[in-house]
Amino acid sequence: MVDADPQPTESPAPQRAERTAQQPFLEMRGIVKEFPGARALDGVDLEVRPGEVHCLLGQNGAGKSTLIKTLAGAHQPTSGEILIDGEPVTISDPVAALRLGIATIYQELDVVDGLTVAENIYLGHELASGGVTRRAEAARNTRKLLERLGHTEITPHREVGSLSAAGKQIVSLARALSRDARVVIMDEPSAVLDSEEVGNLHRIVRELTADGVAVVYISHRLEEIRQLGDRITVLKDGRTVAESLVVADTPTDDLIKLMTGRAVEYAFPDRPGVAEDAAPVLEVEDLALGGVFSDVSLTVRAGEIVGLAGLVGSGRSEILETIYGARRATSGTVRVGGKRLRGGVDAAVAAGIGLCPEERKSQGLLLDEPVYRNITLSTFARTARAGLLDEKAERAAAREQVEALDLRPASVERHARTLSGGNQQKALLARWLVHGCRVLLLDEPTRGVDVGARAEIYTLIRRLADDGAAVIVVSSEIPEVLGLADRVLVISDGKAVHEGPAGEIDEHAVLDLVMEGSVA
Amino acid sequence: VSNEPRESEDDAATGPVAVTENDEPGDEVVIGFSAPAADHGWMGAITAAARAEAEKYEDVTLQVAEGTNDVNVQISQIEGFIDQGVDAIVLLPFDGAALTDVALEAMEAGIPVINVDREFTSPFAARSTVLGDNYGMGVSAGTYICEQLGDNPDAVVAEIAGIDSLPLTQDRSQGFEDALDDCGLDVDARVAAEFTVESGEEQTANLLSAEPEIDAIWNHDDDQGIGVLAAIENAGRDEFFLVGGAGSKNMMDLIQSGDSVVQATVIYPSTQAADGVKLARLVAQNKTVSDLASIGVPRQVQLYAPVVTADNVEEFLPIGFDS
Amino acid sequence: MSQRSALMGPALRMGGLVLALVLLVVVGVATGGERFWSTGNLITVLSLAAVTGVVSIGMTFVITSGGIDLSVGAVVGLASVWASTLATQYAAQDYGWWVIVVTALAVGLVAGLVNGALVAYGKVPAFIATLAMLAAARGLAEIIAGRRTQVIRDVEPFFDVFQSRPLGVPTIVWIFVVVAAAGWFLLNRTTFGRRTVAVGGNPEASRLAGIKIKRHTLYLYGIAGLTAGIGAVILLARTTAGSSTHGTLLELDAIAAVVVGGTLLAGGRGTITGTVLGVLIFSTLTNVFVLNNLDSSVQAIAKGAIIVVAVLLQQWFAAREKVTST
Amino acid sequence: MSQRSALMGPALRMGGLVLALVLLVVVGVATGGERFWSTGNLITVLSLAAVTGVVSIGMTFVITSGGIDLSVGAVVGLASVWASTLATQYAAQDYGWWVIVVTALAVGLVAGLVNGALVAYGKVPAFIATLAMLAAARGLAEIIAGRRTQVIRDVEPFFDVFQSRPLGVPTIVWIFVVVAAAGWFLLNRTTFGRRTVAVGGNPEASRLAGIKIKRHTLYLYGIAGLTAGIGAVILLARTTAGSSTHGTLLELDAIAAVVVGGTLLAGGRGTITGTVLGVLIFSTLTNVFVLNNLDSSVQAIAKGAIIVVAVLLQQWFAAREKVTST
Ligand SMILES: Nc1ncnc2c1ncn2[C@@H]1O[C@H](COP(=O)(O)OP(=O)(O)OP(=O)(O)O)[C@@H](O)[C@H]1O
Ligand SMILES: Nc1ncnc2c1ncn2[C@@H]1O[C@H](COP(=O)(O)OP(=O)(O)OP(=O)(O)O)[C@@H](O)[C@H]1O
Ligand SMILES: [Mg+2]
Ligand SMILES: [Mg+2]
């Protein structure tokens, strides 16, 4: 991603070009979708052919998820028409979409925690005789699907609630595959996956297209789109601004310009280097959480950004959460500014630590509260006088961040639920910017954030560090960790297997370390 | 099928009525009536009898408030009556003590209050009081059981009480205990049901299971008695005899037929409120009770709690209420 | 390891309940001896558990789906009254005892479906819709019964069937066993049951997976109503009478049994086994209390304490489960 | 526009309730005429509303935070009994009438804190913990009172204070007004209220944002207990007596008023105004029923129907709100 190539690197395989010449399988014409108080789609066109990977590109809030939800029957379009094989159809509900051969993996995790893996995969189209589920067969098929996805460690009878976010994503994927669909829609499937998983996912997508299945793929990772996509449709502010561009013929810069309407400086901010005598702000010593990780020690000085790299499930999120006091450490100590931290989250927040959690919906947001209350959730008590809220000050503080982060729409009164995924992420970041932390723990801070905003967030994180904060960043995109951090810690299987300056190691080396560690 | 109403409601509720000069129409009076929720047969009979009594007099309009077991609501009902300026109030309070204050208020506002069944704590709160005799009921039941078992000091006596948190249940149990004590018996097992058929059945089933040998049972309430009998039937037990309470027609029929464990029941008149209505009318019309020599309605009328057995059941059948 | 914990999980989660029940039985035997540990008494305990038990099975479905049904007690009353009116009794004499059963089940089912329609299609919160049904069903039952207890007479075959004791166990206990087994099967082994869990755990995901949530919700309340109808039949058989007071506060007992059993009140996780254990705990508790001739006030306090202890035990076992599975 | 809808939203959502109340008043005037629309009768309605009203305010907080308190009715009973024991009465005679008040409030508060501790620190589901408290508090109240009603005697100043009528309105109505106003302020204008809404909306997010959700939960149940204590004082003033049966089933009335008022049972949204309207609707309903001399069974059915209609009206207004705000 750092060195995204403006020129196409991979020439599309010959048979792919052949197929793209076929009749479109699916067409959407002039789709408009209005929500109370917002027009999310304002005339969108899309055309998908069999056997192609059609990428949807657009900034946060451009309307990508809304578009595919109208296609999946989850939303009803206000106007516009949908054609399948040239025939107009109405997709009145999800069942109708599935019947038409449209399977969808949604941006937000759509699994049921209380059901097993197999039950989740077959939810809605259970293998059953007269209403009685055929469990053995479902388990067999599930095992096959998971094998195809390269995840034999996820067993069919495991409860999905015990899986990590990535595991749940795999289950969603398996569910879409189980539908034998003609088109599979994937809304940011790679956002929670690490690089190895992403490779795996790409292989599956290629297998699908080889069988003539069309894939509609949404992602903010442009290099991924380059590798995988055949054609691209770009959305901006609910309209199609470019339809069915051939990937091979479109330089990345053009795409960014189409999406954002401007040229974005597409690089990581400079590393000014941390002064040798900078005071250590966060000191973690021999931290362990029973069964998940152990012996984690690290020191972050003022102005320093430390990155944690590792595979999904290696325990990085738990390390952050334990430092933050959200989980009770089995052993070890955490010091902030030399003072030992005791107690739970509230003590950590009081000491000036902030955590941007991994799952924004379940761990971060009050979905039915206005944006400004989400932004001031950690600080409203501070702006209050004698327990009396000062909403004016809260709104002002929130508005400032909304502008700084270019949150769209730029209203602080909207409920968090109505924001697009990427904008919800920005609102979470804004919470800690208002708080003004000494230590900031960021778990996948750019998950689902568009290119333009991504650059802004990088700059912002660096600026925070420059202002004296100690920052830890966890990201599944190794280039992001390497590009942003001063120092990296490579985590494998709950242990730190390497620590060193970010500039002295590359992606392959990290991957090697990770693999070695997990074998050991 | 024999659970059809055998007689019309008013006959069943009030029994024979002698016509006196007091029954001549007088001034039009509005009487407010308030009682606990009619959630079981006895209380249903109370309200039905009061309504029926009022029907008989064309000079009486009975204003009936929703039956409620919430003293707060009942107080507001009385406040409503005061506000409307009714001519008299007949009040069977859910809890006598809790309704005393509002009754005083009514009396102070010049509205005579006739207190029924559960007594107020202040003598000034009611113009006249019609009382059942809860303690006496327990005594009657206990005395009857003593008579039957008197020669056997080891006899096992069980008690199936009603809603245990009500003072009236405590009074009944106290009377029962005192009467048994007189002949050297005591209550060996006691459960409390809730005046409902279902709870009667449930509690009795447990009781019978816990006590393999019983000689006599007193059940406070004939409404729950249907459940009590069902449980006895289900358990196939008949080594004891059962004494009922309140006096439902059902139980009287069983006593009469003599082929069940029911040997007796202690009357707790369900006509109290009807008497209350009658007295309220007299008070409001400034009349007097004609069979008495004294002028004016008496301060207190306490009704008798007789024991109904096969010998005298004929006599009581007409006042048995449908449970 | 995850395999093991997946298997051990539910078993361990039940551990607290089983332990609570065993402790109760020990107390029962210690204080009541043979009077407690006799076939007769154990059958009494089971018989008394039957009504609450059957109704709790239906309630488990509703609660698993994230709903609640406060009307079951009142519906039991209404169904018992309707099934014991003179008209029904005459019909039963003419056509057969099943008329009573069918009437009770039909009344329960219809009341349940009305609940379901209000919740699913009227979007009335379940708590409110079923609270309204509670009030309405009781009122209707009182009007139909004229506040009288309606004794069933001259329908002997009805009692012959329901008061009989195949294999020495009362029919009504068999009914409880069959309903519980059917409930377990329905919840764990059928499409319907798995969808119920899904609807409770993540309604939006369920909708997107193609489940017709509204229709499913309608059915769920129908099931709860139907079990209330079955409960009414059992009560008719036990008490020989229908009454508008039948089932008073039964809804609280049922919800308590379901939740103590481990079904999440928020939905998404339900266990029939837990519900059955919950029902048995409460029924044994009452029995032990009576055996010890305990004052009803002391009973109330002890009951409160025991509920809390049972749940804390469950928590403790759940915590242990986590530790062993890591 | 979003600004406007944010302002209009709550007003419109209240629309259904206000309409329901207005309809009730119209029915009251039409059928009762002056008997309904007199100062005396309106004060009767408000006095009746006071106990449920005060308790419902506390309940609003608990439900907004995603919890529930089934014990309030029993706690009202316990507090009323404790505050009217002979010992308390002697102390009140010696030291002043406030002893009674303080005792009732303290009993309510402690019971609430026990609930809160069980829920927050013991992780017992709120439904279970407060159900256990319900049973235990009633049992304890019965034991303390010996199942007798305890009349308060010779503490005249207590009645002088609470049965007086400043500005022609009974003190207990003033208490309701003050508690409601304080509740509104606490929920809408203070950090405490904000935390309550946050905890109800997403407890995990609130915890991760640094809110001490356990301590907060403890306080919330404390508030519910405290309002139950206030309710007990009002009942003592109205009935001049304490009884273990005081407040029976009050929890259902309170929850119904809160939920009909528009507070989400799942938590995350609460409205004191709605709760007050809900309480007034139920209390006016009872009054209109009495004025019309309606049979209590018919009343029950009507009550059920009216609850559903009130909620459907609210739904309809909410839908309109959406349309107008686009
Ligand atoms: N339920 C809703 N009510 C109101 N507005 C909504 C609702 N859902 C989405 N929107 C608005 O519609 C617009 C498009 O949202 P959408 O989720 O489709 O964006 P997106 O392109 O998927 O963004 P991202 O990349 O961040 O996921 C946004 O402005 C969003 O605020
Ligand atoms: N409460 C828990 N008890 C035991 N194990 C847990 C618990 N929570 C998570 N785990 C396990 O800990 C490991 C690490 O979890 P997690 O997926 O959060 O790591 P991660 O490195 O942050 O990966 P991701 O990129 O998905 O965030 C996983 O194997 C997970 O199953
Ligand atoms: Mg999106
Ligand atoms: Mg993670």
Quick check: do A and D touch, 3+ CB pairs under 8 A?
yes
User: What pLDDT, on a 0 to 100 scale, did the predictor assign at position C77?
Assistant: 95
Residue whose pair of structure tokens reads 């707060």 in the numeric block: B72
Question: Could you count the other beta carbons within 10 Å of the beta carbon of residue A403?
Answer: 10
Domain count, chain D: 1
CA pair distance C6, D214, nearest whole angstrom = 30
For D213, the closest chain A residue by CA position comes to: A346
For C201, the closest chain A residue by CA position comes to: A112
Q: Check whether C226 has a pLDDT greater than 80.
A: yes
Terminal Cα-to-Cα distance of chain A (whole angstroms): 30
CA pair distance A503, A271, nearest whole angstrom = 10
Q: What is the pLDDT of residues A133-170, one digit of tens each?
A: 999 999 999 999 999 888 888 999 999 988 887 888 88
Which chains neighbour D (Cβ–Cβ under 8 Å, 3 or more pairs)? A, B, C
D38 at interface of B, judged by CB pairs closer than 8 A: yes
CA pair distance C265, C65, nearest whole angstrom = 9
Residue range C16-44: average pLDDT?
A: 88
Q: Check whether C50 has a pLDDT greater than 90.
A: yes
Q: Where are the beta strands (DSSP E) in B110-151?
A: 113-116, 128-131
ipTM for this prediction: 0.85
Q: Would you tell me which residues 187-206 of chain C have a C-beta closer than 8 angstroms to some C-beta of chain A?
A: 189-192, 194-195, 197-198, 200-202, 204-206
Q: What is the CATH number of the domain that holds C62?
A: 1.10.3470
DSSP 3-state of D40:
helix
CA pair distance A183, A479, nearest whole angstrom = 31
Q: What share of chain B is helix, strand, coil (3-state, %, to 5)?
A: 45, 20, 40
User: Which one of A197, A292, A363, A447 would you pick to mutate in the ligand 2 pocket, going by the greatest count of ligand atoms within 8 A of its CB?
Assistant: A292
Closest CB to A363: pick one of D5, D205, D210. D205
Residue range C211-236: average pLDDT?
A: 96
CA C50 to chain centre: 8
**Domain assignment present for D156:** yes
CA pair distance C304, D134, nearest whole angstrom = 7
**Domain assignment present for D30:** no
Determine which residue's CA is closest to atom 28 belonging to ligand 1: A61
The tokens of B277 are what?
């209505």
Ligand approaching nearest to the C-alpha of A60: 1
Interface of C with D (CB under 8 A): 118, 122-125, 127-129, 131-140, 142-143, 147, 252, 255-256, 259-260, 265-266, 295-305, 307-308, 311-312, 315
CB D180 within 8 A of CB D119: no
CB A43 within 8 A of CB A81: no
C309: containing domain: 42-325
Residues of chain A with pLDDT under 70: 1-22, 264-266, 517-520
User: What pLDDT, on a 0 to 100 scale, did the predictor assign at position A340?
Assistant: 92
Shortest distance, CA A210 to any CA of chain C (angstroms): 26
In sequence order, what are the residues at sequence separation of 6 or more whose Cβ sits closer than 8 angstroms to the Cβ of residue D100? D83, D84, D88, D89, D92, D152, D155, D158, D233, D236
What are the distances in angstroms from CA B168 to CA B133, C245, C290, D81, D90? Answer: 9, 21, 22, 18, 27
Q: What is the pLDDT of residues D264-310, one digit of tens each?
A: 888 899 999 999 999 999 999 888 887 777 777 888 888 888 888 87
Cis status, amide bond into A409, omega within 30 of 0: yes
**Domain assignment present for D109:** yes
Answer yes or no: do D304 and C259 touch at CB < 8 A: no
User: What pLDDT, on a 0 to 100 scale, did the predictor assign at position B271?
Assistant: 87
Short-list A99, A147, A148, A142, CA closest to A124: A99
CB C77 within 8 A of CB C141: yes
* CA atoms in the 13 A half-sphere facing the CB of A214: 22
D320 at interface of A, judged by CB pairs closer than 8 A: no
User: What pLDDT, on a 0 to 100 scale, did the predictor assign at position C293?
Assistant: 83
CB D294 within 8 A of CB D302: yes
More confident residue, C142 or C6: C142
In sequence order, what are the residues at sequence separation of 6 or more whose Cβ sits closer than 8 angstroms to the Cβ of residue D296? B37, B38, B66, B67, B68, C139, C142
**Domain assignment present for C58:** yes
Q: What is the pLDDT of residues C107-136, one digit of tens each?
A: 999 999 999 999 999 988 898 899 999 999
Cross-strand pairs, B63 = B32
Q: Which positions in chain D touch C137 (Cβ < 8 Å)? A: 304
Short-list A338, A282, A337, CA closest to A308: A282
User: What pLDDT, on a 0 to 100 scale, did the predictor assign at position A1?
Assistant: 39
User: What pLDDT, on a 0 to 100 scale, did the predictor assign at position C159?
Assistant: 86
Ligand approaching nearest to the C-alpha of A42: 1
User: What pLDDT, on a 0 to 100 scale, did the predictor assign at position A6?
Assistant: 43
For chain B, give the number of residues.
323
H helices present in C65-121, as ranges: 72-82, 86-95, 98-120
Q: Which positions in chain C touch D297 (Cβ < 8 Å)? A: 138-140, 142-143, 147
For C267, the closest chain A residue by CA position comes to: A114
The mean pLDDT of chain D is: 88
Residue whose pair of structure tokens reads 């053009």 in the numeric block: A254
Q: Work out whether strand B241-246 and strand B187-192 pair parallel, antiparallel, or are unpaired.
A: unpaired
CB D57 within 8 A of CB D227: yes
**What amino acid is encoded at A73 in this protein?**
G
Q: Check whether D241 has a pLDDT greater than 80.
A: yes
User: What pLDDT, on a 0 to 100 scale, did the predictor assign at position A143?
Assistant: 95
CA pair distance C26, C24, nearest whole angstrom = 5
Domains of chain A, earliest start first: 2-101+181-260 (3.40.50.300), 112-180 (no CATH), 279-352+439-446+470-520 (3.40.50.300), 360-436 (no CATH)
Q: What is the CA(C153)–ligand 1 centre distance, in A?
A: 67
**Domain assignment present for C29:** no
Q: How would you write the pLDDT of chain B (323 residues) with one tens digit per residue?
A: 334 443 444 444 444 445 566 777 888 999 999 999 877 778 888 888 999 999 999 899 998 887 888 888 899 889 889 988 899 999 999 988 899 999 999 999 999 999 999 889 888 999 999 988 889 999 999 999 999 987 788 899 999 999 888 888 989 999 999 999 988 898 999 999 988 888 899 899 989 988 889 999 999 999 899 999 999 988 889 999 999 998 888 889 999 998 889 999 999 988 889 999 999 999 988 887 777 777 778 888 888 888 999 988 888 888 888 77
Q: Work out whether strand A26-35 and strand A79-84 pair parallel, antiparallel, or are unpaired.
A: antiparallel
Which chains neighbour A (Cβ–Cβ under 8 Å, 3 or more pairs)? C, D
User: What pLDDT, on a 0 to 100 scale, did the predictor assign at position C248?
Assistant: 85
Residue A45: φ, ψ to 5°: -115, 140
CB D275 within 8 A of CB D60: yes
CA pair distance B301, B285, nearest whole angstrom = 19
Short-list C60, C35, C58, C55, CA closest to C45: C35
User: What pLDDT, on a 0 to 100 scale, did the predictor assign at position B4?
Assistant: 40
CA pair distance C298, C305, nearest whole angstrom = 11
Which of A277-281, D109-113, D116-120 has the lowest average pLDDT? A277-281
The tokens of C178 are what?
């069959």
**Domain assignment present for C20:** no
**Domain assignment present for D250:** yes
Short-list D135, D102, D109, D154, CA closest to D244: D135
**Domain assignment present for D26:** no
Count the helices and strands in chain D (H runs, E runs).
Answer: 14, 2
The tokens of B182 are what?
């007189």
Answer yes or no: do C312 and D124 touch at CB < 8 A: yes
